[in-house]
Amino acid sequence: MYQIRFFLAALLLSCTVITNAQERVTTVGLQFKPILSSEIINTGPQSQEVENVSYTITPQSGYAFGMVIRKGLTKQVSLETGINYSKKNFGLKIADNSSDLNIDEEFSYVIYEIPITGLVYVQLGRELFLNTSFGLTADFLPSDWQSGNSQYYHRSFRTSWVLPSLIANLGFEYRTADKGFYYLGFSYKRPFTAITTAKAGIIDDNQQIIKQSEFDILGNYLTIDLKYFFHENPERKTKRRK
């Protein structure tokens, strides 16, 4: 419950900041981003073997959703910010070659993201635009994460409660005259450092953790970006009175 309250509070704060800073046009939208994993961007499985016990952590799919706010500076350049709730899933496999122990479980990270990016547009048709953007994201990690049972132990220790990341985006936008903008694209996110250190181990009959492994989780990912921006009319410039 506290995570949802934090998400809503940050969402209202980001809206207030942009609204107070508007000059000409402020467009508010919603977005949903399925998260993909790929070994091409160094997000494949990580494996270790400790005293005949093999450990494997595999990034899996996830999702992010939230609000995006766009501030138009010129016809070709805009700024975007907002806030996302993201959930990234991982698979954990533990196999003890000296026993019948075989663990196949999943765990998840919840991270709040506040990006600030600069966008450049290339007009391809009357209503179709190519967008490219680049910027930074502040990632807020609300806590450490843990899972396990009487046979195994897992805990992911966050590197910091807030971490910076690079983010790049490429996509297409269809703009209607009065029904808003529709966007489809892809994003790549790269944190500057590992987001967590994940530790896993098996538990003996005395409930003690033994044969423990340790992994640095980078947090890189690709997303498919689906966005919708509500229609907004440009604000009229007002002349200063002498």
| Residue 212, helix vs strand vs coil | strand
* Residue 241 domain flag: no
Residue 9 forms part of a structural domain: yes
User: Would you say residue 238 lies in a domain?
Assistant: no
Tell whether 235 is covered by a domain: no
Tell whether the model's pLDDT for residue 4 goes beyond 60: no
21-52: pLDDT as tens digits = 334 668 899 999 999 877 666 677 899 988 88
Confidence of residue 224 (pLDDT cuts 50, 70, 90): very high
User: Within a domain: residue 10?
Assistant: yes
pLDDT tens by residue, 65-123:
999 999 988 888 999 999 999 999 999 999 987 778 888 999 999 999 999 999 999 98
Task: Please check whether residue 234 lies inside any domain of the structure.
Answer: no
Of the pLDDT bands very low, low, confident and very high (cuts 50, 70, 90), residue 219 is confident
Distance set, CA 141 to CA 2, 160, 161, 180, 222 (Å): 13, 7, 5, 33, 19
CATH of residue 150? 2.40.160.20
Output the CA torsion sign for 199, 200, 206, 211. negative
What single DSSP character describes residue 40? G
Residue 179 lies in a domain: yes
* Number of structural domains in the chain: 1
CB atoms under 10 Å from CB of 134, counted, come to 13
The alpha carbon dihedral of 12, 17, 21, 27 has a sign of negative
Whether 242 maps to a domain, the answer reads no
Residue 31 sits in which domain range? 2-229
Q: Which residues contact 171 (CB under 8 A, 6 or more apart)?
A: 130, 131, 183, 184, 185, 186, 225
